[in-house]
Amino acid sequence: MGKCKHPSDKPSMWCGDGYVTTFDKNADHWVRAPQKLNNQSKQWRQMRQSRLFITYSLHRATTSETEARLLLERMAGAAHYLFGNDETLSELLVFGYKLGGFGARGQTTDSISKGQFELITAPNKKDQAQNFYGQNEQSSYQFDTYETHVDSVTLDGGIEIGPNRHHPHFHILLTINHWSYIQIDYFKMNAYLEMMFRGRDPLLRGWGDEYKLVSASGELFYTDNENPHVDIKLYPQDNWQDIIAAYVRKQATPSILQAISARVGNT
């Protein structure tokens, strides 16, 4: 589908469901294989809760308390801007795809070249197959948007210096209630953080030096040799009562971060 046009006074991310509009019920392929298509214009979807636990750590030790304080403040600001801003977060979420291109056990020696997003062609549970709106070529979920299929987002996190190696790092728990299949764009997230920490703004977002990491000597803390450790874990969905409770009160209380004392704030 190409870019859709909306009235200037009613901007929207929604451009329609290409899976529904591409396959016409009167077309030949619908008659030949009706059992393979589930492109209903009226869909019943269950609200899901995705809990993404994100760890991001640099590999350079801090040398002083003043340097550490500056690094933590700017890393906290960058994390809050990246994950606590609807506009930016919407750019990081991928709908209808999963990260694939790995070996049989999920390993790859080169995640940059082998890792890629692949279309989700079936639900994880067989009993959900009848309510899955898609087939091998495409699905309704790839046309979902942040504006139309995300109900609420809760952000909780901690920024700290490691007690042994003194590496600055952060932990973020991103809880998203939605009606789709979502993943976070690992590669775009890394690229955004690198640009912010190096004081570069090719996207003209107005970052300037606000998030630039500077060492005690005044030089860049995030150098060309930096290769940050990034780990994203998807925690199991809570039970349905917890999801309803999250929907009502617009927040979640994750136990995984109770031990983290430094908090950025809720969104």
- The pLDDT tens digits of the residues spanning 122-163 come to 888 887 888 899 887 789 999 999 999 999 999 888 899 988
Residue ranges of domains in the chain: 47-96+144-257
Both tokens of 231, joined, read 């780990």
Residue 141: the pLDDT is 93
Distance CA 131, CA 129 (A): 5
Contact predicate 106/21, CB 8 Å: no
Higher pLDDT, 50 or 127: 50
Higher pLDDT, 174 or 41: 174
Give pairs for 248-257: CB < 8 Å, separation 24+.
250/152, 250/154, 251/152, 251/154, 252/49, 252/51, 252/154, 252/175, 254/51, 254/156, 254/173, 254/175, 256/53, 256/173, 257/156, 257/157, 257/158, 257/171, 257/173
Query: Exposure string (b/e) for 145-183, b if CB count within 10 Å is 16 or more?
Result: ebeebbebbbbbbbbbbeeeeebbbbbbbbbbbbbbbbb
Maximum mean pLDDT: which of 12-21, 87-96, 152-161: 87-96
Residue 243: the pLDDT is 53
CATH class of 47-96+144-257: alpha beta
Distance CA 58, CA 67 (A): 14
Q: What is the pTM of this model?
A: 0.77
Would the pLDDT of 61 be above 50? Answer: yes
Average pLDDT over residues 165-189: 92
For residue 53, give the amino acid letter: F
Would the pLDDT of 111 be above 90? Answer: no
Distance CA 63, CA 65 (A): 7
Average pLDDT over residues 73-101: 91
What is the pLDDT of the chain when averaged over all its residues?
Answer: 79
57 three-state secondary structure: strand
By mean pLDDT, which of 45-59, 119-133, 249-263 is the weakest? 249-263
Residue 117: the pLDDT is 82
Residue 23: the pLDDT is 62
Distance CA 117, CA 111 (A): 12
